[in-house]
Amino acid sequence: MSDDWVGPLVEVDLESCEPSDAPGFWRMAWRVRNVDVKEIRVLAGWLPHGKLHADRTQYAPPTIVRMGSHVNLPFLVRCQEEAGTVVENAFVILSVEWGGESWRIFARLRVTVDAGGAPSTTTVVITAQPIGYAQAG
């Protein structure tokens, strides 16, 4: 595979954040919009950062995002940071199928915790990488 691949084109933005029944956990959903001409099949998603963490969620059957449409992907997210905390380099990672190939989409987030302890995110950059590229490259 050449180094000039682009991959699936998406927008990933925080749609909602509500407290859950468990202290320090939040019901958060990200809106994933397909701005590509090919459909995207979302297989799994997770947030791996220690300060904004959600376990891997499998979507079976896969969640299909057609060209120009969007889906909201919910996660139960652990964030127990103090008000005013800013977290750089948190991620929403999606495992997807696009164009018949397996890809990972990385939405890098900047997290700010408000006075009530609720996390808010801003998407900084979105990149995609074919799965297996690092081993093959």
- The three-state secondary structure class of 136 is helix
Residue 7 has pLDDT above 80, yes or no: yes
CATH code at 10-136: 2.60.40.10
The rounded distance, in Å, linking the Cα atoms of 41 and 96 is: 5
Query: Residue 6: pLDDT band by 50, 70, 90 thresholds?
Result: confident
Question: What pTM was estimated for this model as a whole?
Answer: 0.91
> pLDDT value at position 1?
40
The H or E element that residue 105 is part of is strand 101-113
Spatial CB neighbours of 42, under 8 Å, sequence gap ≥ 6? 32, 59, 62, 63, 64, 65, 71, 73, 94, 95, 96
Q: Provide the mean pLDDT of the chain.
A: 93
Query: Residue 136: pLDDT band by 50, 70, 90 thresholds?
Result: very low
